Structure 1
Amino acid sequence: MSQVEESIEVGVPVHTAYNQWTQFESFPEFMDGVDRIEQRTETLTHWVTSVNGVHREFDAEITEQIPDERVSWTTIAGEARQGGVVTFHRLDDDRTKVMLQMDFHPDNLTEKVGDKLGFVKRQTKGDLKRFKEFIEERGRATGEWRGAVT
């Protein structure tokens, strides 16, 4: 199992950053390699990804969701094994720190080499940077889901 931790400060209130992060179907707009996400239930998403020519499909379940604080997930079916948490930290009225912690299992030699060379860490850092640009340009979330999962 490998781990990655990255964070970024975004220039929006904590509820705006959190609300946007609950809009999983918008992730392809700022996450490289994510082709499509379907929200199947309040806690189940289906992911289609293409990273470095490797196509994957998997289901992820939201295991914990606390409005304006955190979203945790784990994969439950498909070709990827990972889990993690995104936490939201209010810095002031108009700034939020978004922190992503993820555990993942590289399955094949290419993924293991990519992991050792820091590919996942760089991709995660880039995805957070694009999230920052996405939400700051809009200034508001594309939607929201304020339900709690415990």
Structure 2
Amino acid sequence: MSTLEEHVDVGVPIDKAWDSLHRMENLPRFVEGIRDARAESGGRAHLDVEAGGRTRELEAEVSDHGDQRVMEWHTTSAPELIGSFALQPIDQDHTRVQARLEYDPDTIRESFGGPKGFAQANAIERLVRSDLQQFKEYVETGR
């Protein structure tokens, strides 16, 4: 498994960032490739994902630790992905959003296509950074 950690600082209070981040239906607004996302009962979520020219439906288990401002998730079928978002207050009007993703590059390539090895890891890094920047724009401007 490979692990990727990235963060972005956003110019909103932690409560506003948390409210926007932990709602499944908001994910398509800032996560590239997610076409639809919805919360289901029992801490589960359904995601329609398009990547590498392929569309997949993924099921995930999600746990919200609202008191700690941490959301953890993992897919319940292939490809195996494990991730989390953790929010930390910087000051009254600024929040750090920390994203962590654990994945097997070979499984991602088999599921969605794309290059092998280092090139794929770089592509995933760029995608996560872009998603965090999209979240920043979304939460700061409402778009």
**Superposition TM-score tier, normalisation by shorter sequence:** 0.7 to 0.9
Q: Secondary structure at the match of 2:32?
A: coil
Paired positions, count: 137
Q: Give matches, 1:61-80, under 5 Å.
A: 61-67=61-67, 69-77=69-77, 79-80=78-79
Instruction: State the Cα RMSD in Å.
Output: 1.9
Query: Which structure has the higher relative contact order (CA within 8 Å, separation 6+)?
Result: 1
The alpha carbon displacement at 1:135 in A equals 0.5
Structure 2 counterpart of 1:144: none
| Distance in 2 (alpha carbons) for counterparts of 1:17 and 1:64 | 14
What CA distance in whole angstroms lies between the structure 2 residues aligned with 1:112 and 1:81?
A: 18
> Please, what TM-score do these two structures have when normalized by structure 1?
0.83
Alpha-carbon deviation of 1:130? 0.4
Aligned to 1:102: 101
Assess if the C-alpha contact under 8 Å between 2:9 and 2:96 holds in 1: yes
Distance 1:55 1:82 in 2: 16
Structure with the higher helix share, 1 or 2: 2
TM-score relative to the length of structure 2: 0.87
CA distance in 2, matches of 1:101, 1:137: 24
2:127 to 120, 123, 126: 123
Unmatched runs of 5 consecutive residues or more in structure 2: none
Gaps of 5+ in 1: 140-150
SS at match of 1:128: helix
